[in-house]
Amino acid sequence: GAVVSQHPSRVICKSGTSVKIECRSLDFQATTMFWYRQFPKKSLMLMATSNEGSKATYEQGVEKDKFLINHASLTLSTLTVTSAHPEDSSFYICSARKTSGTYNEQFFGPGTRLTVL
């Protein structure tokens, strides 16, 4: 199988605090993970590509100092929302890329619902 977990599944925090979201590939190694943000009734927006052992690549318009990504091992990537504000409230989804032969497939985590008060 190929299972990706996220923790926590939902978090509520006060404005100005930082929140860390973990993304783990449970039964495979993932050199590359992706972080997406989903707005209500909208599609997924790719925020950044996280590569194990190197700096993340951020999409245009995504503040890298606000959304800190660390991919410290082959099974774990973290997204830290720093100094969170109500406009950061959203559903954050990660995915992990698994290479099988010559084909790469992405597996998605269940998502984390962030609410900033």
Partner 1 sequence: GNSVTQMEGPVTLSEEAFLTINCTYTATGYPSLFWYVQYPGEGLQLLLKATKADDKGSNKGFEATYRKETTSFHLEKGSVQVSDSAVYFCALSDLGNQFYFGTGTSLTVIP
- Binding region for partner 1 (CB under 8 A): 6, 32, 34, 41-44, 46, 49, 93, 95, 97, 103-104, 106-111, 113
Closest separation between CB of residue 106 and partner 1, Å? 6
Nearer to partner 1, 13 or 45 (CB): 45
| Nearer Cβ to partner 1 (28/82) | 28
91's tokens: 């559903």
Please state whether beta strands 103-108 and 90-100 pair in parallel, antiparallel, or not at all (unpaired). Answer: antiparallel
**What is the closest distance, in whole angstroms, from the C-beta atom of residue 97 to partner 1 in the complex?**
6
CB nearer to partner 1: pick between 87 and 102? 102
Taking Cα atoms as reference points, which of 48, 38, 29 lies closest to residue 96? 29
For residue 46, the cross-strand partners are 36
Q: Is 49 helix (H, G, I), strand (E, B) or coil?
A: strand
Closest approach, Cβ 103 to partner 1, in A, equals 7
- Could you tell me how far CA 81 lies from the centroid of its own chain? 10
